[in-house]
Amino acid sequence: MLKLPGLIDPHVHLREPGATHKEDFDSGTSAALAGGFTIVLAMPNTKPPIFDASTLKLALDAAKQKARCDYGQYIGAGPENAKSAASLSGTVAGLKMYLDSTFGELRLDDMSLWMPHFEKYPRSQPIVAHSESRTMAAVILFAAMYDRPIHIAHVSLKEEILLIKAAKERGIKVTCEVCPHHLFMVSQVSSEERGKRKEGRREVRPRLATQQDVDALWDNLDVIDCFATDHAPHTLAEKDSDNPPPGFPGLETALPLLLTAVDDGRLTMNDIITKMHSNPRKIFNLPEQPETWVEVDESTTYEIKASEQFTRCGWTPFEDWKVKGKVRKVILRGKTAFEDGKILVEAGYGRNVRGS
Ligand code: DOR
Ligand code: ZN
């Protein structure tokens, strides 16, 4: 039996408020525990989006009642909320800036709208940026100009990881995360391949990339600070519709997929501990969780099945994938929170990592 520290996922979408048919703080944090995570940081692209004190209260009240693991809530950067977002920083996980298109309404196109946020948001927390390709270069310039930490969400391209590597070498305060789906899945370019599957189930932002991009991520593991799931549940009916929303669930598949890569010799156990515990804890300034650990049976081989998951969305892009390594038990702050497929802590056991 392998013992790991409580894992931290700095990037999840729990859909509360506004879309609890996809997920809520109860189902999402249950999925987190089943996946070996004891802290999740929830994104603000909900309905309504979390961008001021009253919308933040909606999310935090729901979380307080329903969360089963510890959590933090991001606030979203809007065109006019730089001052209030900064004043709420003590109660949130960090500031999320949507600078490229994705699911939801939060998006800042004009770079002059980025400036007040870079001026005002406290340097004790990173600004997390959804920024792809050249937008990423722009936000890294901002980090350099304002000399403040930024964290780049879901890096997927070769040009992006090489840019971040170069920025780090020049002392710019940039950290980054990569998602399992961008490490294990490749875009299907041939039309023949494309016809075989329902396309909606492969829609995700950033899009799945080429083999060359995937190889570049694996070749630059030392540049990757965190593995984050970008757990983005949408129901199967939504994914198979004519207008499928982008996003994959990931909380319950990340650790088994990454442990399988350890077994294959592509990663080390130390990579898992640093990128899923120590680094996110440091980058997001998260509290220690006393008497907290995860027990994993390293030798169990099994197939991933959506029917065994706690996420409410009812599917996974990794259905039937063979993995090696199963979460047996999660102890959270002295209590057995998960054991052999069962959640054993009540809704409301989870605490806000910012202490309110
Ligand atoms: O695929 C995605 N889905 N990418 C995002 O950035 C947002 C997410 C969502 O909220 O569904
Ligand atoms: Zn996301």
Confidence at residue 109, expressed as pLDDT on a 0 to 100 scale: 85
What is the rounded distance in angstroms from the CA atom of residue 311 to the CA atom of residue 308?
A: 9
H helix count then E strand count, the chain:
13, 14
161 neighbors 155 (Cβ within 8 angstroms): yes
Pocket-testing residue among 181, 205, 243, ligand 1, by greatest number of atoms within 8 A of Cβ: 205
Atom of ligand 1 nearest to the CA of 153: 6
Residue 191: the pLDDT is 59
Report the half-sphere exposure of 293 (CA within 13 A, side-chain side): 7
Ligand 1, CB within 6 Å, residue ranges: 13, 45, 102-104, 130, 204-205, 232, 245-247
Q: Which atom of ligand 1 is nearest to the CA of 104?
A: 10
Do residues 26 and 268 lie in contact, with contact meaning Cβ atoms separated by under 8 Å?
no
For residue 94, what pLDDT is reported? Answer: 98
Q: Quick one: pLDDT band at residue 188, thresholds 50, 70, 90? A: confident
Give me the mean pLDDT over the 309-335 stretch: 98
- CA 149, 150, 156, 160 dihedral sign is negative
Which position has the token pair 């890096």?
155
Q: In this structure, what is the dihedral angle of CA atoms 325, 327, 333, 335, given to the nearest 10 degrees?
A: -140
Cis peptide before 206 (omega within 30 of 0): yes
Task: Encode pLDDT of 89-98 as tens digits.
Answer: 999 999 999 9
The best mutation among 179, 230, 235 to test binding of ligand 1, ranked by most ligand atoms within 8 Å of the C-beta, falls on 230
Q: Tell me: pLDDT of 335 over 90.
A: yes
CA 130 to centroid of ligand 1, rounded, Å: 10
CB neighbours of 118 closer than 8 A, spacing ≥ 6? 127, 142, 145, 146, 148
Mean pLDDT of 305-310: 98
Owner of token pair 């001026």: 119
Report the alpha-carbon distance of residue 186 to residue 288 in Å, rounded.
36
Q: Tokens 């990569």 label which residue?
A: 178
Instruction: Supply the pLDDT for residue 106.
Output: 75
Residue 58 Cα to ligand 1 middle (Å)? 21
pLDDT of residue 269: 98
State the distance from the centre of ligand 1 to the C-alpha of 4, rounded, in angstroms: 28
Q: Are 173 and 145 in contact (CB under 8 A)?
A: no
For residue 30, give the DSSP letter.
Answer: H
pLDDT in tens, 106-146: 788 899 999 999 999 999 999 999 999 999 999 999 999 99
pLDDT tens-digit map of 209-228 = 999 999 999 999 999 999 99
Q: What is the pLDDT of residues 25-78, one digit of tens each?
A: 999 999 999 999 999 999 999 999 999 999 999 999 999 999 999 999 999 999
Neighbour tally for 245: CB within 10 Å: 20
Six token digits for residue 96 = 């999320």
What's the pLDDT tens digit per position in 271-289?
999 999 999 999 999 999 9
pLDDT in tens, 238-263: 999 999 999 999 999 999 999 999 99
Name the DSSP class of 231. B
Determine the Cα angle at 286 with ends 103 and 77, to 5°.
35
- Cα of 331 to ligand 1 centre, how many Å? 30
User: In the beta sheet, which residues pair with residue 9?
Assistant: 40
Q: Where are the beta strands (DSSP E) in 212-308?
A: 226-227, 293-303
CA distances from 77 to 41, 57, 83 (A): 16, 16, 10
Question: What is the CA(202)–ligand 1 centre distance, in A?
Answer: 12
Ligand 1 centroid vs 88 CA: distance in angstroms? 24
The proportion of the chain whose per-residue pLDDT surpasses 70, expressed as a percent, equals 96
- Predicted pLDDT of residue 190: 62
Query: Which of 98, 102, 185, 202 to mutate to test ligand 1, by most ligand atoms within 8 A of the CB atom?
Result: 102
* Coil vs helix vs strand at 225: coil
Ligand 1 atom index nearest CA of 98: 6
Residues with CB under 5 A from ligand 2 (ion): 230
Segment 151-174 mean pLDDT: 98
CA–CA distance, 88 with 335 (Å, rounded to integer)? 31
Q: Which ligand is nearest to the CA of 15?
A: 1
